[in-house]
Amino acid sequence: MSADAVFVHPPGAARYKFRADHPFDPIRLTLAIDLLTSVGALKASDIIASEPADTNLLSLVHRPDYIHAVTALSKEHPETRWLDEAERFGLGTEDTPFFPGMHDAAAQLVGGSVRAAEEVMSGRALHAYHMAGGLHHAFPERGAGFCVYNDVAIAIKYIRQRYGAKVLYIDTDVHHGDGVQWAFYDDADVCTYSIHETGKYLFPGTGFVHERGSELGFGFCYNMPVEPYTEDDSWLESFVSTVEKVARAFRPDIIVSQHGCDAHALDPLSHIHCSTRIYLEMPRIIHELAHRYAQGRWVAVGGGGYDIWRVVPRAWSLVWLAMTEHPLVGRLVAGENAPLPAEWVARWLPHSPEPLPDRWLDDTSAWTPMPRRAEITAKNQATAGILVQDL
């Protein structure tokens, strides 16, 4: 029996936690899932538990020596030789420190994305959402940018190996989806698209419009880098004017999308000035593209997002609401800024360091307009024009 959408959640997702003061905090998953439950949009029957990925799955992307290093550094007291080697594998850094149980926790997240892919490709579900996934910066030989294993790239490799399907990967994180891009840079059957703040000013320093792929994969890599302080209208114009043309040209069998929500004005790790409006609109657009070009097959994962109280719960909940065509989405699109469930706000307000929002969407009328708005918009339009000139 098939379902329209399933929600995949690994039982060990909360164990992926670097340290108490690290910006990547799995409590954001708890907050978002509780918000969906509070609004009546997620039931226990919608949630599917997943198994951790084994070495065979991890090896679809990662080198054996890297997996060995991650495993060794996951011990309570790693051997000295591994402590000395950690930074060579991108671990032990300020961004991506190793921690006890790291391998098992990261393998849980990979297992969730692979399970979501299998649910859709097997036909058991049309859509699947793995909110805990989206660690798009990890490379075959090293971790980076809070990412130990690249669950998204592994899930795409799994789809390619098991089903031979063409995959369109859409990355909406404010940071370029570099690990996924490079994993498929020479592959004509995986098309990668990333909209993000330009790498001129932001980690990882890549994702320029001239990065188009190599060898057989040339012409199957698309990047839409936007200028710092881009706002909602220009971000959405840049996205809509490019991603639809990419999907139409590529005609995928399935769309896999990453929904980092760190392009928000309140996020501490970027310079983009968007609101929750883009997190209402982008999943709706991707949902439509999946039905138009990929027989409805769509896998969505989470990603970045570091204002964990005010932004992430709403933004990630909106992905599931769009995926399930929840009536609340229609109300929000129609201009009704519906309130968040009062019990959710009351439950979490005592724990939040900031006042919590009480509405699904931000009231941007109270925001100070960004200077140079016209110049920023013009630069983004020019970049979009370059991106789609051959489509």
Catalytic residues: 137
Q: Are 76 and 100 in contact (CB under 8 A)?
A: yes
Q: Which two tokens stand for residue 208?
A: 């320029």
Query: Which residues, 6+ apart, have CB-to-CB distance to 281 below 8 Å?
Result: 236
* CB-count exposure of residue 161 (10 Å: 0-12, 13-18, 19+): exposed
Please provide residue 350's backbone torsions phi and psi, each rounded to the nearest 5 degrees: -65, -20
**Cα separation, 199 vs 259, whole angstroms:** 18
Find, among 290, 256, 288, 267, the residue nearest to 362 by Cα.
267
Q: Which two tokens stand for residue 372?
A: 């140079």
Please name the residue ranges forming H helices in the chain. Answer: 27-38, 55-58, 64-73, 80-85, 102-121, 151-163, 178-183, 232-250, 277-293, 312-323, 327-333, 342-348, 373-387
Q: Are 57 and 110 in contact (CB under 8 A)?
A: yes
* CB-count exposure of residue 351 (10 Å: 0-12, 13-18, 19+): exposed
Q: Are 221 and 185 in contact (CB under 8 A)?
A: yes
Find, among 327, 332, 326, the residue nearest to 4 by Cα.
326
125 DSSP assignment: E
